[in-house]
Amino acid sequence: MRHPDYTLTAGPTTVWPRVQAALGQPMLYDYDPVFLERFRATERKLAEVYRTAGDVVLMQGEAVLGLEAAARGLVRPGDVAVNLVSGVYGKWFGLWLRDLGAELVEVEVPYDEAVDPGEVEAALRRHPGARVVSVVHSETPSGTVNAVREIGPVAKRHGALVIADVVSSLACEELRPDEWGLDVCVSGPQKSLAGPPGMSLVSVSEEAWDAMRANPDAPRGSFLSLLDWKERWIDGGRTAYPYTPSVSEVTGVEAALDEVLERGIDAYAAMHARAAAATRAGVRAMGLELWAASEDVAGRCVTAVTAPEGVEVPRVLAHVRERYGVMLSPGFGELKERLFRLGHMGPAADSLTLVIALSAIGRGLADHGVPVAVGEGVEAALGVLAAEGVPA
């Protein structure tokens, strides 16, 4: 099977050229002074991109590992945990909470909407003493975002810790964990950072560390242990790892962070906002329907498009990949057969790349008998880019 010419998916996405070059560097011993300094530098850069003065942890394992580590570190049997569900990932997080013995309270909305912070307030009033609120910032499977800026302070007023899945939102959406009361944030480099998959990028507040230390069930001597990283690496003078770090992936992650910092954190996020707006305009102009119920809840990392009636999503995507060399994403989980997802993260958010995604899905649907105004969609997208300006 041919290699795709363009990977414009919901992640892993195409990496920046400097990331590709970094991944090809010679393998280093993890205690070589060069790598030790690289690891420390990558931590500092990650904290800068997170805009946090707190600790960050580079865990070896895809972001699902970091999310499970956060849950196991903070949640004890009998704890009341308020889980916010606006999509597939939010629902899945509740499964961990239930398995850990938490008393699970879910605030759930349709998967094309976002959770109302007022509903979070109401849930916490009904359940005083709730210890944890968990929320997905950017629900990549449905292309929607939750208002963590408002949700975090609500949780803090009620004395709850906040676990935020920011896997795709870091560097794409505005994110300020310290200001918004987000105690543990977990991201992955393979989304908006446009780095290699395989690591969990975690920010941790002091309050969260205290809660983990007080939790007798928090993992120790485990790949899932955040406390091992805190005690052996961070508090140990950053001279001894809990276990062998992913040398090549750390090198790639540092390169991805360098791309963000050199462009500017705000400018990098604005690039994604511009690409998302242009893509949504193109989808509507083609005569297709956006999945998100409104512009207010639509995310910046992917645009989810409702599959027209009678269209087989896998068949159309396979055709687009084979005929036009463009890899796009279906929905995920229970949304797999209902959506097309056009990814615009990292290089896919830069310049005119999003036009390729629009042209590919439009032409692919037209090839399957769906009336689509491909040219009008491209013109609408270009109109947004021209009005807002495309940075050099």
Q: Alpha-carbon distance 270 to 199, whole Å?
A: 25
Average pLDDT in the 311-319 region?
97
For residue 351, the model assigns a pLDDT of 87
pLDDT exceeding 90 applies to what percent of the chain?
97
Is the Cβ–Cβ distance between 49 and 171 less than 8 Å? yes
Residue 1 has pLDDT above 90, yes or no: no
Is the Cβ–Cβ distance between 91 and 85 less than 8 Å? yes
Q: Alpha-carbon distance 125 to 155, whole Å?
A: 10
Q: Cβ-count burial of 72 within 10 angstroms (0-12 exposed, 13-18 middle, 19+ buried)?
A: buried
Tens of pLDDT, residues 147-164: 999 999 999 999 999 999
- Structural domains present in the chain: 6-13+265-388 (3.90.1150.10), 17-261 (3.40.640.10)
CB atoms within 10 A of CB 344: 29
CB neighbours of 31 closer than 8 A, spacing ≥ 6? none
SS3 content of the chain, % helix, strand, coil (to 5): 45, 15, 40
For residue 308, the model assigns a pLDDT of 97
Please give the mean pLDDT across all residues of the chain.
Answer: 97
The pair of structure tokens assigned to 262 is 């050199």
Q: Phi, psi at residue 107, to the nearest 5°? A: -105, 105
Locate tokens 């998967």: which residue?
111
Tens of pLDDT, residues 164-179: 999 999 999 999 999 9
Split at pLDDT 50, 70, 90, the class of 2 is confident
Split at pLDDT 50, 70, 90, the class of 190 is very high
Split at pLDDT 50, 70, 90, the class of 392 is very low
Q: Alpha-carbon distance 208 to 189, whole Å?
A: 23
Average pLDDT in the 229-258 region?
96
Q: Alpha-carbon distance 244 to 348, whole Å?
A: 32
Residue 390 has pLDDT above 70, yes or no: no
Residue 391 has pLDDT above 90, yes or no: no
Residue-wise over 78-98: b if at least 16 C-beta within 10 A, else e?
A: ebbbbbbbbbbbbbbbbebbe
Q: Which residues pair with 134 in a beta bridge?
A: 83, 163
The radius of gyration computed from the CA coordinates of the chain, to the nearest angstrom, equals: 21
For residue 214, the model assigns a pLDDT of 97
For residue 126, the model assigns a pLDDT of 98
Q: What is the 3-state secondary structure (H, E, C) of 310-357?
A: CCCHHHHHHHHHHHHCEECEECCHHHCCCEEEEECCHHHHCCCHHHHH
For residue 204, the model assigns a pLDDT of 98
